[in-house]
Amino acid sequence: NAGCDPEIHKRLSVERSHDIGFVGTDGGVPRKFYLQEMRERYPNSFIGSADYKEMSKIYSSSKIGFSFAIRGECFTMRNYEIMACGAMLLMKRLRDDSAERLGFIDKKHLVTFDGPNDLFKLIDYYLKNKKEREYIAENGYKFTIEKHTYEQRLRDMVETVKNRFNLK
């Protein structure tokens, strides 16, 4: 499973000046349609490609980080990166329970949407409700930094190997 690197994916002390943040390619249908509609409805956003060194600044300056996986239905690196930078993660609901199995709870650590109408209702709601948005963003940030860094993943793997082979 993916995670974040707190040396690269970190919350910076910058103004949250973007409504929406998305770093990546438009991909195929339907993600490109979601992104195009967001560009039109929320022009005060960063939606596009950027060097990985710029990612922390973009997500740290975003109120909402958007995620819509185009390859498979899984919890992606982008999800961790968004939360590690302190933006509220708004992601397409997964078909399975992988987010829950990782400990993430909808409306506590992140927010999930089911389709375009739901997406735009949620964006409008959370842009207007700063306190609630920041509460979710802070919970997601703390949980990600505490439980979902690459260092934590390595510790978990070492522990699994130790247990599997009865090593001390």
Q: What are phi and psi of 25, to 5 degrees?
A: -95, 160
Q: Determine the Cα–Cα distance for residues 121 and 81; give it in Å rounded to an integer.
A: 24
Q: Which of 39-43, 47-51, 140-144, 158-162 has the lowest mean pLDDT?
A: 158-162
Q: At which residue do the structure tokens 């909402």 appear?
A: 64
pLDDT of 6 > 70? The answer is no
Q: Determine the Cα–Cα distance for residues 123 and 145; give it in Å rounded to an integer.
A: 24
Residues 45-92: pLDDT tens digits? Answer: 999 999 988 999 999 999 999 999 887 678 888 999 999 999 999 999
